[in-house]
Amino acid sequence: MITKVLIANRGEIALRVIRACRELGIKSVAVHSTADSFAMHVRMADEAVCIGPPPADRSYLSIPAVVSACAITGADAVHPGYGFLSENAAFAQVLEEHGITFIGPSSEHIRLMGDKVAAKDFMKQQNVPCVAGSSGPVPSADQAMAVAAKIGYPVIVKAAAGGGGRGMKTVRASEDMEFAFLSARREARAAFGSDLVYIEKFLETPRHIEIQIFGDGRGNAVYLGERDCSLQRRHQKLLEEAPAPGLGEAQRASIGEISANAAASINYSGAGTIEYLFADGEFNFIEMNTRLQVEHPVTEAIFGVDLVREQILVASGEPMSIRQEDLKIRGHAIEARINAERLPNFEPCPGLVATYHAPGGLGVRMDSAIYSGYSVPPHYDSLIGKLVVHGLDRPTAIARMRRALGELIVDGIETTAPLFERLLEEDDIAEGRYNIHWLENWLKDQHG
């Protein structure tokens, strides 16, 4: 059994993990950079270790620093949260070699899914429906043109090692291919250290719908429905909801079973998300994330499960307590990502939070690590809170989100909260009529 978990992360997700540890009677260790000495995760954990200066590559991303912190504190497990080292196969492998439990899948599975070409190949073999495209990486612009001629324009050139929406180029005609191909390769090499790229059919107006799966590492896996994350800006999610508006029970069960079976076939362990683009009533696999997602609370709300608790138990070698037949959707949940950003252009807006008041009441969950007097440092992601509401149905959840946003006070810095107040007044949102481009088009209409 795990006795002490080191959380290799910061902010709201570090608190999320500390809370699960405390409820399980497991000790928690926070790590932090010098910029985070006064951060809430440092105060809330049982112990804290400073692991380096503010830049993430010298603190939260430093494998030697995190492993040393485990040695100093005697932590026998690490929870990576999301971002930072959460999908770093080398990190998981180093922990495995040191006899420290990585709370997540094996390094082998992280590596497989981190290579998006290999992941797609694997999913095809498991009969998971995939977006049409090249089979394997595409080595030259000429071959890229040949693939595109076969599947038809428009296409999208994507980095095999990609993430965070970077290194993707949409190509609408063959004369634009050479330039797009070479620039995608260049961007991929700079951002990910690998210039392997592949090609997919560009779907014009899909929705982004992802399936939450959970495996016990022994050949069993369940699915916990889907999340609709189509409301994106620059491929970054801003608002997520579960279930996806309009998705039928039969469709959910069908793609859910396919997704869980793929995970079970490799003895996948822990939480994972299989992401699809949903177009013309069909699911098309794009990638698998081998970690807890930012938006996991909407799934927790509608199923009444604690995914982090389950991650810790399964990593400890306990059986999974979630059974497919018990998983029944109750109501509707929505998450709004509150970022320290200035509208309308979303520039990061770090600084002193003079006053903070969290919304509350029935069906409201605010996951945040800020407090009155806290200073948001400029070095990290701008997410400062996740406002999650749960209601008996979608209209109730929307009304509750609007009510909760009205209660939220973050004085001193600018946030994305006002955006959601306006967004939730839109008929398209009320009726669930949106796709991955809706938000950017709406922002253009609002601000030119």
Q: Is 291 a catalytic residue?
A: yes
The separation between CA 52 and the C-alpha centre of its own chain, rounded to angstroms, equals 25
Token code pair at residue 148: 């595109």
| Min separation Cβ 380 and ligand ADP, Å | 19
Query: Which CB, 198 or 214, lies closer to ligand ADP?
Result: 198
| Min separation Cβ 409 and ligand ADP, Å | 32
| Min separation Cβ 235 and ligand ADP, Å | 4
CA distance 355 to 373: 7
CA distance 238 to 416: 9
CA distance 177 to 171: 6
Asked if residues 314 and 270 have their Cβ atoms less than 8 Å apart, the reply is yes
Confirm or reject binding of residue 87 to ligand ADP (CB under 6 A).
no
Confirm or reject binding of residue 235 to ligand ADP (CB under 6 A).
yes
Listed residue (239, 147, 262, 246) closest to 199, CA to CA: 147
Listed residue (58, 93, 52, 51) closest to 73, CA to CA: 51
CA distance 3 to 316: 9
Q: Which residue in the set 131, 197, 222, 288 belongs to the binding site for ligand ADP (CB under 6 A)?
A: 131
| Min separation Cβ 406 and ligand ADP, Å | 30
**Greatest pairwise CA separation for the chain in angstroms:** 62
Confirm or reject binding of residue 226 to ligand ADP (CB under 6 A).
no
Q: Which residue in the set 28, 62, 101, 232 belongs to the binding site for ligand ADP (CB under 6 A)?
A: 232
Considering only 75-83, 158-166, 251-259, 340-348, which stretch makes contact with ligand ADP by CB under 6 A? Answer: 158-166
Q: Which residue in the set 113, 171, 286, 334 belongs to the binding site for ligand ADP (CB under 6 A)?
A: 286
Q: What part of residues 184-213 is at the interface with ligand ADP (CB under 6 A)?
A: 200-203, 208
Query: Which CB, 145 or 277, lies closer to ligand ADP?
Result: 277
State how beta strands 221-233 and 341-342 pair.
unpaired
Confirm or reject binding of residue 88 to ligand ADP (CB under 6 A).
no
Total Cβ atoms within 10 A of residue 271: 25
Confirm or reject binding of residue 129 to ligand ADP (CB under 6 A).
no
Burial class of residue 323, CB neighbours in 10 A (0-12, 13-18, 19+): exposed
Query: Which CB, 136 or 361, lies closer to ligand ADP?
Result: 136
Among the listed residues 16, 207, 252, 291, the single catalytic one is: 291
Confirm or reject binding of residue 162 to ligand ADP (CB under 6 A).
yes
Give me the active site residues, please: 291
Residues that bind ligand ADP (CB under 6 A): 131, 156, 162-165, 200-203, 208, 232, 235, 275, 277, 286-287, 436
